[in-house]
Every structure is written in C-alpha cells, then in structure tokens.
Amino acid sequence: MNLKNKLTEQTKHYDAVVVGAGFSGLYMLHRLREAGLSVRVYEAAKGVGGVWYWNTYPGARCDTDSIYYNYTFSEELYNEWTWSERYSSQPEILRYLNYVADKFELREDIQFETRVSDAHFDNSTNQWDVNLDDGSVVTAKYFITGVGVLSTMNIPEFKGKDSFKGEAFHTADWPEKLDLKGKKVGVIGTGSSGVQSIPEIAKEAEHLTIFQRSGQFTAPANNYAYDEEDVKEIKANFKAMRRKMERTYDGIPIDRPNRSVLDHTPKERNKVFQEAWDKGGVPYLLATYSDLKTNEKSNASMAKFVSSKIYDLVKDQELADDLQPVDYFGTKRPITHIGFYDALEQDNVSFLNVTETPIEEITPKGIKTSESEHDLDIIIYATGFDAITGSLFKIDIRGKDGTSLKEKWADGEKTRTNLGLTTAGFPNMFIITGPESPSVTTNMPMAIEQHVDWIIDCINYLETNKIAAIEATVEAEDAWSTAVSDRANKTLFVKTKSWYTGGNIDGESTRFPIYLGGMPKYGEIINNIAKNGYEGFDLTYQEEPVKN
Ligand code: FAD
Ligand code: NAP
C-alpha cells in the first residue's frame, strides 16, 4: 500500500506517534509531552495497561516484587501508590496503570481501539506516514513503538484446531464472563501463565486435564501482604532504592555476590540455595551465584537443588518424574508458583506428559494424544507468545528504501539493531524494549524507563540542533549485534529453545537476541553514545550547521 497517496491537506501531523499504552507507551507519552512535543498514542485495547489489560486469566500476577515492579521516575507517584501484596494481582496492577494515566492526564492523547497497521518512512519529507485500522492516515516526525515483547499470542497450529466444538481461547484472551463450574477443561502449557492459572482453574472446573510438554524450573512465591510499617520505610528510602536499582544487573535491587557455585562445597551451596528458596521468587535464586548461566557444572548444581524440591513438593513420585525440568536452570524464564503442585494432586486434576505422548490433533470433542482421547468443554491455550518481534512484525513497517522490517529481520539470525533502540534503514524510529536490549532479562518497568529516557534525550538533541533525521549506521549496528551475540554465545542461553530465541515456536532458533551485559553497563554505553553526539548514527540537518 502506498500511504503517500492517502495524504491530504487534512491529514493530521504529530511530532511523535507512539504505538501501545502499556508501561512503555504511557511513560513515553508523558516524557514527550513534557518536552513540548505533540503526540498521539494508538492502542488496540479499550484501555491502558498493555499486558495487564489483556492478561485477565485467574491467578495472573507479577513475579517481580511489586515495590520494584512499577515506575520509579516520580517519587511523588511512588509515595502516592501503595501495593497491597508482594506479588500484586493483575487487577491491582491494572488499577495502578489507570491511576498513572489519570494522574498525568495521559488519556487525552491516546486513541483506544485503534491498531496501527502500517508505518512507512517518507524520504522526501523525513517523516513517517502511519496507517490506522480505521483507514485513516497520520504523519509524524518520530515513530516510536511500545508494542510489548509478550503481546502477540502463540496458538500452535495443531491439526484440527478449528474443529473443536467447545470454547477455546488463549490465557491472554480470557473471556469476560466464563463459568468453569461443571466443565471439563484442558490446559495446554505449563509456563508462567499455565502455572499461575492452573490452581485457580482447578478450584472451579469439574475436571482439569493438563497437557505439559516440558518440565519447568520453578521457585515458590512466598507471597504475603505488605506490612504498613515496612512500606513506610521503603518509601522513606526511595532515593537509595532507586539508585540501587539503577546499579543492579536486572534492576531488582538485591545483592548479587560475584562468586562461582564451585567456590563453595556442596553443603555450603545448598545452604545458599535454601536461603534464596525460602525468600521466594525467582530473582533471589538467580542472584545466588554469578556463574549460573555460564558454567554447566554450576548450573547443574542449582538444577539438582530445584529438582529435589519438586520431588519434595508432590507426593506422587511418578508425577514428580514427569515434572522434572529440562534444559538449564534460568535459560528459559523460570517460574514462580503459588499452589501449582498442590493443584496437580487434586482428585479432579489429571496430568499428561505430552513429550512422551504428543498431542496429535484437536478433535471436535477435545484433544487427542498419541495414546488417549480427552473429551473437553473448554480448551485453554497457555502456550505463550510470539515474543519480542511478534507485535512489531504485525505492523507493516517500511524504512527509507521501502524495505520492510520483517524482511530485514527475516529470521532470528538477522535481527539487527543499534543498541536495541534503533535499526539501520529506519530513520527517526525508536523501539522501546527492542531486541538486543537487555529488557526481557530485567525488571521491565525499570528497563522501559531507561529506554524512554534515552529516546527523549535523543529527541531533545535532534530538536535543539535542528536535525531532521537520525539513523543508525550499518557499521554501528553490525558492531552492536556482534557484541550482543558474542556475549550470549558464552552463556547457556544459546543452548536452550525458549521464547527468548523464538525456539518456542519454530523449534530451531538459537540466536539469543538480548544484551546480557546488564542494565548498568548498558546504561553507560548508551549514555556515552549520546554524550558523544550520537556516534554510530547519521544525522541529517534541517539546515547545514555553520562551520567555523
Ligand atoms: P505491553 O504491556 O505488552 O503493551 C503493549 C501494548 O501495545 C498493548 O496494549 C497492545 O495492545 C499494544 N499494541 C501492540 N501492537 C499494536 C498496534 N499495532 N497498534 C496499536 N496497539 C498495539 N515483566 C516483569 O519485569 N515482571 C513481571 O512480573 C512480569 N509479569 C508479566 C506477566 C505477564 C502475564 C506477561 C504477559 C508479561 C509480564 N512481564 C513481566 C513482562 C511485561 O511484558 C512487561 O513487564 C511490561 O508490562 C511490558 O510493557 P510494554 O508497555 O512494553 O508492553
Ligand atoms: P511460555 O513460558 O512460553 O510457556 C508456554 C507453554 O506452552 C510451555 O509449557 C510450552 O512448552 C507450551 N507449549 C507451547 N507450544 C506447545 C505445543 N505445540 N505443544 C505443547 N505445549 C506447547 O508462555 P507463558 O507461560 O505465557 O509465559 C511467557 C512469559 O510471559 C513468561 O516467561 C514471563 O516472562 C511472562 N509471564 C510472567 C508471568 C508472571 O509470573 N508474572 C505470568 C505469565 C507470563 P515448552 O516449554 O515445551 O515450550
């Protein structure tokens, strides 16, 4: 589609168009407005919240401590909002994001129920022509995506999928009024979404059958209601907490000793692992040793510890065999559980290991594995997401030579960015939580603030210096992508098929498109580039600067 032909004198122009109104889009809008720019945010949903708008399945909650899993750009906001529990539930997080939207009066610049379908860069005007699903077109100097890394559902193409006569849906598309009482329910998948929803579904359904492909590493949540006095103290120490978050590898301010598992005797290790296990939450296990993701032996030691815990958690030891995690600890995002293992042993719950007996097809009546047929009223796909690039690829994004982003990044091996924020050939486009940034391995609101702050500094620089366009050079992009891969190749991440690599869907990709140097190092790199007048970028001036 040639968007240029759709432009008229009435076509609306904004300084910036932002896609998405989750944590990313909301903060980006706030900062762009502060900078005095005109902005329009387009959001497919009826409301703000992103992930927390869509994922309404029972049991949905964050697995990063709530006191860290929120914005920290405003101390006033931090003081005004009080989380009720350590791992807040989806409704509470959604209320928080609505509160943020109201506090900063963001809604007036957001157009809901509107999907961006195409965005094409026009060389002649140095602006983006943006097509919306209502057929209208707008133009903008800056095109900024906050489309989310886990916002495009993955429903595997099982044979006969559409023949099922009952109700079928994905966890991120939970029907508003759903009564599970008296129903025979099947859940496919035991990632975080499956593990969170299964105990709640098991409470309601007449019978629940779980179809698990791979056993997963988990940690207990140890969820609890926050104590009023503790919250007061946390708020009083906001500045120190924020500083520590900035200096911590993943934006979660817990201590991470720089030591190898192998420095300790097996007894000492188990003590360290146990202490972290008792605290609850995956980040605490990950923080125990610094070589868990690089050293096979160290990783195996943690894997053995978690595996033994699973044998303790379930009475039926054959079930425990089936639940044993595969791969390495932490190379798929580990899962925090509340009541999952107890639910599996309820009388109304059956568990199937579909590695041994794969799902062969969905039939009009239910799910057929290589061994048995299961009659169901409802099938729930807890099968995850087309992660990281899925939502970017749903938009026809075309750069300066008409090249499509999807074609440029044709397979995981070709995903190339400069700093995870920009990509060569796509001037004035910024990607919040893009591939090759550290975002998905961090406390994401913190990563989002880091990205948005860099983008706004860059835009302020462009506006102040009358620069019409900024574009990553191919050389800088190649250097960044190579550095990202070199780092990743030294870790066990590349040996695992996960949603990080896209291997959850195609079963093959192993390139790990995430910067693993951590948030502080990443911040230092991107800020130095800004300080040095955007090294690695071509700048096109509106008027040539006067040279002395
Ligand atoms: P999203 O929240 O995904 O928002 C993107 C928005 O863009 C969506 O509303 C979508 O509708 C909209 N959009 C996409 N494409 C278009 C388009 N073409 N046109 C218009 N609108 C569009 N991270 C953590 O750090 N800790 C956690 O505990 C945690 N828990 C999570 C729990 C769940 C169930 C999931 C799915 C993810 C979780 N995450 C967690 C990761 C989560 O993705 C981030 O924390 C964060 O919410 C991402 O915010 P975002 O604004 O970047 O993206
Ligand atoms: P996921 O981790 O990708 O898990 C998907 C599950 O579906 C896995 O068990 C997977 O098995 C299974 N599956 C996929 N395709 C299948 C197929 N063809 N046949 C059988 N089984 C199949 O997805 P998710 O659970 O939605 O979580 C995704 C990410 O979202 C998380 O890692 C996390 O970052 C975020 N999240 C966080 C929370 C939280 O606790 N705060 C909650 C939900 C989501 P395999 O393992 O074998 O691929």
pTM for the full predicted model: 0.97
In the reported structure, the alpha carbon of residue 14 is separated from the centroid of ligand 2 by a whole-number distance in angstroms of 38
- Kindly state if the Cβ of 431 falls inside 6 Å of ligand 1: no
Tell me how far the alpha carbon of residue 445 lies from the centroid of ligand 2, in angstroms.
21
Q: Is 66 in the pocket of ligand 1 (CB under 6 A)?
A: no
The rounded Å distance from CA 498 to ligand 2 centre is: 9
Is the alpha carbon torsion for 145, 149, 153, 154 positive or negative?
positive
Return the pLDDT at 506: 77
End-to-end CA distance of the chain: 45
Ligand 2 contacts (CB < 6 A) are 62-63, 150, 156, 188-194, 196, 213-214, 333, 336, 354, 359, 382-385, 499, 504
- pLDDT score, position 183: 98
Q: In whole angstroms, what is the distance from residue 96 CA to residue 242 CA?
A: 19
Coil, strand or helix: which one is 414?
helix
- Report whether residue 386 contacts ligand 1, using a CB cutoff of 6 Å: no
* Strands, E assignment, 24-113: 39-42, 110-111
What is the whole-number distance in angstroms between the Cα of residue 497 and the centre of ligand 2? 12
SS3 assignment, position 135: coil
Tokens, residue 6: 């759709």
| CB contact set of 524 (below 8 Å; sequence gap of 6+) | none
The per-residue pLDDT for 5 is 86
Atom 18 in ligand 1: which residue has the minimum CA distance? Answer: 116
Which residues lie across from 37 on neighbouring strands? none
Q: Is 71 left (phi over 0), alpha (psi -120 to 50) or beta?
A: beta
User: For the segment 312-330, what is each residue's pLDDT rounded down to a tens digit?
Assistant: 999 999 999 999 999 899 9
Ligand 2 centre to CA of 326 (Å) is 14
Nearest ligand 2 atom to alpha carbon 497: 48
CA atoms of 191 and 120, how far apart (whole Å): 36
HSE toward the beta carbon, residue 425, CA cutoff 13 A: 17
Q: Amino acid letter at 397?
A: I
- Residue 85 token pair: 């529990």
Tell how far the Cα of 207 is from the centroid of ligand 1, in angstroms. Answer: 31
pLDDT < 50 stretches in the chain: none
| Residue whose CA lies nearest to ligand 1 atom number 44 | 444
Q: What are 473's two structure tokens?
A: 């050079």
Place of tokens 């919306």: 132
- 195: nearest Cα among 354, 337, 352, 349: 337
Task: Give every CB contact of residue 271 below 8 A, 6+ residues apart in sequence.
Answer: none
Ligand nearest the Cα atom of residue 133:
1
Pairing of strands 127-132, 116-122: antiparallel
What is the rounded distance in angstroms from the CA atom of residue 211 to the CA atom of residue 352? 5
CB 21 within 8 A of CB 41: yes
- For the chain, helix, strand, coil in percent to 5 are 35, 20, 45
Could you tell me if 423 and 477 are in contact, meaning their C-beta atoms sit under 8 angstroms apart?
Answer: yes
Label residues 39-78 b or e (16+ Cβ within 10 Å = b): bbbbbbbebbbbbbbbbbbbbbbbbbbbbbbbbbbeeebb
Q: Is the CB of 88 under 6 A from ligand 1?
A: no
Tokens of 208: 């629940």
Residue nearest (by alpha carbon) to ligand 2 atom 18: 156
Report whether residue 325 contacts ligand 1, using a CB cutoff of 6 Å. no
Distance, CA of 175 to CA of 517 (rounded, Å): 40
* Residue 462: alpha-carbon gap to chain centroid: 29
The reply to whether ligand 1 has any atom less than 6 angstroms from the CB of 64 is yes
